[in-house]
Structures are given as C-alpha cells and as structure tokens.
Structure 1
C-alpha cells in the first residue's frame, strides 16, 4: 500500500472554524485513520502547513498537535512545490487577496465561504481559476449533516410527493459580551469588517435550497440589527453596525416557497440549532443537524381548532424518527475527503468556485432586498 503525501497550506488555522473543524476534525482526523484510501489502494496523506498572522498562537497550535511546519509568511508557503492545495479560513475581508495569490501560484484551492465580499469579485475568482486550470472547492458543510442527508434520502425516494414549502429556523442568543463573553468574534457585528448574518448564512441557504429542493428564483429579505451595541474581546463597547437577524422568503423553481429565519438574537426552543420543516402533498418532515422526523399523509391526525379547551394531543409524539441506516462522519471531513479525491484522482466534485459565487450572489441580493424593501429576482450566474 503506497502513501501519497499532499502538502496543504491551511491559512486561518488559529480561528475557531479553521482550527476545530478543518485542522483537528478533518485533516488530522484523516491522518489518525491512516490516510484517505483510493480505489487503487493508495492512501492520501495530508501534510498541513499552518499559516496565520499571530506567531504565538500559531506556534501553540502546532506544538499542541506535534506539527512543525508553520509560518506567518503566506508568500513563502505559496512558492513551495510540495504545497499543492491552498485552504482559506480567514476572515472574509482577507480571503479574496489570498486566493488571488494562490491562483497565481498555481495551487488547487479549497476555501470557507463566502468566496468573496461581492458576486462580481467572486466571479472574477471563478474566471481566474478557470484560466489557471486549477481545481477549486468551497465549503458547503450543511449538505453533509446527518439530518439533511436523511432529508435528501426522503426527497430522492419520493416521500413528499409534490413539495410545497420549506420553513427554516436557525440561530441562538449570542451574548453581547458585557456580563458574559460572546460566542462569536466581534467583527461579525461590524459592517466595515465584513460582518452580518446575511453574508454569513445566505450562502448556506443557497446551496441547501438548490441541492435539496430547487434553484432560487427570487428573494425577499428583511435584515435587522436588533442589538445596537456590543462589547469586544478587549472589553470595549462598540456600535454593532451589521445585521444580526434576517427574515427571508425564497421563491424556488416549481412553485416551492421557503421561509428561513436566521438570528443571533433568539433563544432556542427547538430540538436543534437549525431545523427545516418540509411539507409535501404526501408527507412532511422536520430535519435538524442530526435528527429527522416524518409524518406521512396516511397517518396524519386531524386536529380541530378550539381555543376554548386546552390541547390534549402530544403533537411531537405523532411523528416517526428516520433511522440512521448508515454511519455519519463529520460533515467537514467528508467534504475534505471528496476534495482530496478530486485533486489527486480526478473524482467528481460539484462544489467549485462557481457554486460559491452563487452563494455570495444570494447574500448580496438579500441585502439589496432589505435595503430597497422589495422582492429581487436571482439571475443565473454563468462562466
């Protein structure tokens, strides 16, 4: 059995997502399982090259995991011949410049979303990568969540009949940072730093809706800044200028209507931090991060509205749990494995820069809808 080592520049590894999901739970987890096996018996062996701006934090991450290859000099990492892939998990404002450098260096590129701060910039990256002949990928991790994979199984099996609507609830209370530390970095709440929940979550909703249901044809969005002042990591108060909640209606091909609420200003009263309720002519489902429950037409109860009497039915108990039927691995790791197979063996990979650009486009149009107070149609993006 041969080993195929592949150098991967991991930029932004000291951040929450870059460290926890991409380094520890993906690349290092692949190494812990003995590499990624290809059909011919070869095993892909990731060799992380850690990149960041804070030397102390970078060194601490490397020492914690027994890694020795790290640098604060991105340009030096990009000229290395053994580094075949560039991965970006930086803050959004730093991403476009670094990706352009990686394109010029001829690296294959995998990146967190959003791909860029505007759809025009994202499409420039699409065309530059095409011209360079490199392979590209954008993280679309929600597609690999156990709950949504079960939902996709139901859709593919025709469980719903004709799908009518999708209702989604995402979010939780992010502390303001005064009497309890915030769970998210302060830049998320400053528009000047590229923050805002629309740009953070609408790219996710774009690929979830398109891949599971149908392409988005139009969007109507109301974005709000519910908490106007927060406290940063140094204990300083600052004005929160970015949207911290968004209420969106998405019109999909085939007449499906999706209403998705995204909020960092809501207290959770649901089973998981994100849930999608799908209604169809033949059945309904509620899918979250891991669970999925269904109610078929044949066993749907017949509720009667009577506000004068207390409800006696346990509505949740009337739904059936969808079994796992398979072992679900970490969603970030699963997509990393797919991208590595794509780069090394040419395996199909459907989530390239153009897919990422569509997510940026929907966020951009959602913000336009909120700003102008109107419904906005979504034109098709082409190379």
Structure 2
C-alpha cells in the first residue's frame, strides 16, 4: 500500500531544498503551505501534488490520507504545536527541523499521547539536531557512566531567512543548560571555554542549542551544555544585552526585524554551501575524571538538513517504530550521522586525570 508524506513549508529556503532533492531521489512528497502564489509554481515545476492550508485548529482535516508530515515552516515555537495536534488527530507521524528548546520540550511532553495514537513525534531531523544528537549517543555508548556532556559545532555555512527569524525570536531570552537533569536558564555570555571543534582551538561561548533539551532524553546524562565558537570580547559583550531583553522581546522590534529579513535575506547559494562543511564536537566525563572527546566533519548545515530529513522520512515510512516522542539518534542509532552524504567517521580521544 502506497504511503503519502507531506512537506509543509515547501517554498521556504530549506523546504525548497528538501523538495528538490526528494524529487532527484524519486520521492513524491505532497507539497504544502499557506501561500498559493508561492507554492503553485514549485509544485508545477516538480510535478508534485500540493495542498494549500494554514496551520490552525482545523489542520487535521488537511492531513487526510497523510502517513507522515515533515514540518519545515518556522519559527516552530509558533507553528509546531498545532501541527503536532493535527498529526495526533490524523494519526500521521510528525517530524520537523527545529532547534528551539521549548519546541523540543513540548514535543517530548506529547509522548504518551503519541504512543496511544501509534505515531512517532521526532523534532530536530535536520542539522538541528541530528549531528549533535548522534554525537551525544556515540559518547554515551563509549562512556555509559558519563555525568557531564558538552556538545558544539563550528561552521561557515551562512544563514537562511528562517534561521534568521528563529534567532530574532530568541533575542529576548538568555542561554540555557541542563543541571542535575533540569533545564536551567543562564545569562548569555556567562559560559566560556576554549574548544577544538576540528579546526584548532577556539574561544567558545555557551548557547541555548536544542540538545540541552533532547540530549537528556537521548542519553540520560544529567548535566549538558552546548557551545559554538565566539570571540572572547563579543562573549563578554553578550552579557550586556540582559538589560535589553524586554526591548528585544517586544512585538514591535520583533516584527520590524522579521520584516527586514523577509525583504533582504535570501540564504546561502549552492556554491557557498558546498565549500562550507560543519565540524561537530562532543565531550563527556565521568565521576572518575576520565574524558572522552568525539569529533566528526559533515556536510554544511543546510545540505545536512536536507540529507538528514529525507533519510528520516525514508526510514520512518519504510520501518516499524513504536509510537511516542523520540530523537533522531534514538530512532535510527548514533551511526545515522556517519551514513549521511558528506559525513566522515567519528574520531574519538580519551584523556585520563593526571
């Protein structure tokens, strides 16, 4: 029996990349979005079925006959909850490419409902968070008694309009980490260290990356932080924005900045992406002070999102998986990342206390 999957947000920067690669692979997603003028030309060019609908309380009606949804229309903090509700009602598997902590937490909170419905909910099947999630599970497998986990990445891949909007959405908040199993807010710029992500030692700053939420469910490790390269001077200055958070979170400034993105940002082109690999880093330590570090080079963040999302769709449609909320690494194993185009193999180092 043929199974149908729907790509929502198909005319966005990343959604269109996914749609075009899907057709190259002989896949036939149903393209969807709320804007007919943007959706129709792409659907006609790719010779794919389309559905035009908004994400609202009646969304389940629009998902009739759909077995799985790949949701690519952010900011996901505004769109994912209603799409998940639609999938629960329509009994369709749900996947998205978010990196937003509140979205991961909300998805996880629907675990029992998804289990009863017999569907899988899996947020983060793109660069957010496949590479770091697989790295986390790889390290957990190598050090089952780990108590602390740090994850990070370095990349020059550029930024798409959707990613810009998500960043703007988070301007009014600080950073986060997980301490003793609980999500904990920390001032932006307060977490600093030096890390070799794969291209030499760099000054780094803690950020509220999605793994602060998901890696706990993937590994059970109670203390988790997430990092990116950041110059020391800028990291110090980031702390000064704390007093501006109410202004940065205001609807007026948020709408002004998002409108600017809509008019001015187009996203990195194919040549730029091809020359911008990503470098993934992870570190665990246990009570004895033993440290294991894993590194892996992958395709750029956008191509990896395309490859990861389509691999997740293919495996989920072809296999039998128990219902509930899960993460990419828990569903498909830590080796998922190494099997994606452009990915190398994990390199692991061990350090003993002196």
Q: TM-score, normalised by structure 1?
A: 0.48
Measure how far apart 1:217 and its partner are.
Answer: 0.8
For 1:13, what is the secondary structure of its paired residue? coil
Cα distance, 1:205–1:274 mapped onto 2, change above 3 Å = farther
Q: Which residue of 2 aligns with 1:82?
A: 65
The Cα RMSD (Å) is 5.1
**Aligned mate of 2:29, from 27, 48, 51:** 48
Q: Which residue of 1 aligns with 2:167?
A: 189
**Aligned mate of 1:94, from 79, 89, 95:** 79
**Aligned mate of 1:15, from 1, 12, 15:** 12
Quote the Cα distance in structure 2 between the aligned partners of 1:108 and 1:203.
21
For 1:333, what is the secondary structure of its paired residue? helix
Q: TM-score, normalised by structure 2?
A: 0.52
Quote the Cα distance in structure 2 between the aligned partners of 1:84 and 1:30.
19
Question: Does the aligned pair in 2 maintain the 1:148–1:288 contact within 8 Å?
Answer: no
* Unaligned stretches of 5+ residues in structure 1: 32-45, 176-181, 238-270, 292-328, 359-383
Matched, 1:288 2:279: no
Quote the Cα distance in structure 1 between the aligned partners of 2:277 and 2:309.
18
Cα distance, 1:334–1:191 mapped onto 2, change above 3 Å = closer
Cα distance, 1:215–1:277 mapped onto 2, change above 3 Å = same
**Aligned mate of 2:20, from 13, 21, 24:** 24
Cα distance, 1:68–1:193 mapped onto 2, change above 3 Å = farther
Question: Does the aligned pair in 2 maintain the 1:273–1:289 contact within 8 Å?
Answer: yes
1:133-212 to structure 2, matched below 5 A, reads 133-141=118-126, 168-171=151-154, 183-185=160-162, 186-191=164-169, 202-204=209-211, 207=214
Quote the Cα distance in structure 1 between the aligned partners of 2:174 and 2:98.
13
Cα distance, 1:219–1:138 mapped onto 2, change above 3 Å = closer
Deviations 1:228-261 (A, max 9, x none): 7998465489xxxxxxxxxxxxxxxxxxxxxxxx
Q: Which residue of 1 aligns with 2:42?
A: 61
For 2:122, what is the secondary structure of its paired residue? strand
Measure how far apart 1:290 and its partner are.
Answer: 5.5
Question: Does the aligned pair in 1 maintain the 2:63–2:90 contact within 8 Å?
Answer: no
Question: Does the aligned pair in 1 maintain the 2:7–2:32 contact within 8 Å?
Answer: yes
Measure how far apart 1:52 and its partner are.
Answer: 1.0
Quote the Cα distance in structure 1 between the aligned partners of 2:14 and 2:108.
25
Quote the Cα distance in structure 2 between the aligned partners of 1:132 and 1:86.
15
Q: Which residue of 2 aligns with 1:273?
A: 278
Quote the Cα distance in structure 2 between the aligned partners of 1:77 and 1:171.
39
Quote the Cα distance in structure 2 between the aligned partners of 1:114 and 1:282.
27
For 2:68, what is the secondary structure of its paired residue? strand
**Aligned mate of 1:122, from 104, 107, 132:** 107
Quote the Cα distance in structure 1 between the aligned partners of 2:67 and 2:137.
33
Quote the Cα distance in structure 1 between the aligned partners of 2:133 and 2:24.
22
Matched, 1:353 2:325: yes
Q: Which residue of 1 aligns with 2:265?
A: none
**Aligned mate of 1:339, from 279, 303, 316:** 316
Deviations 1:323-359 (A, max 9, x none): xxxxxx93332222211123xxx2x479x52548x9x
Count of matched residue positions in the alignment of Structure 1 and Structure 2: 252
Higher helix share: 2
Cα distance, 1:201–1:5 mapped onto 2, change above 3 Å = farther
Deviations 1:52-104 (A, max 9, x none): 12221111221231224332356477456432223322211111012112212
Question: Does the aligned pair in 2 maintain the 1:79–1:105 contact within 8 Å?
Answer: no
Q: Which residue of 2 aligns with 1:258?
A: none
Cα distance, 1:69–1:203 mapped onto 2, change above 3 Å = same
Cα distance, 1:209–1:286 mapped onto 2, change above 3 Å = farther
Greater Cα radius of gyration, structure 1 or 2: 1
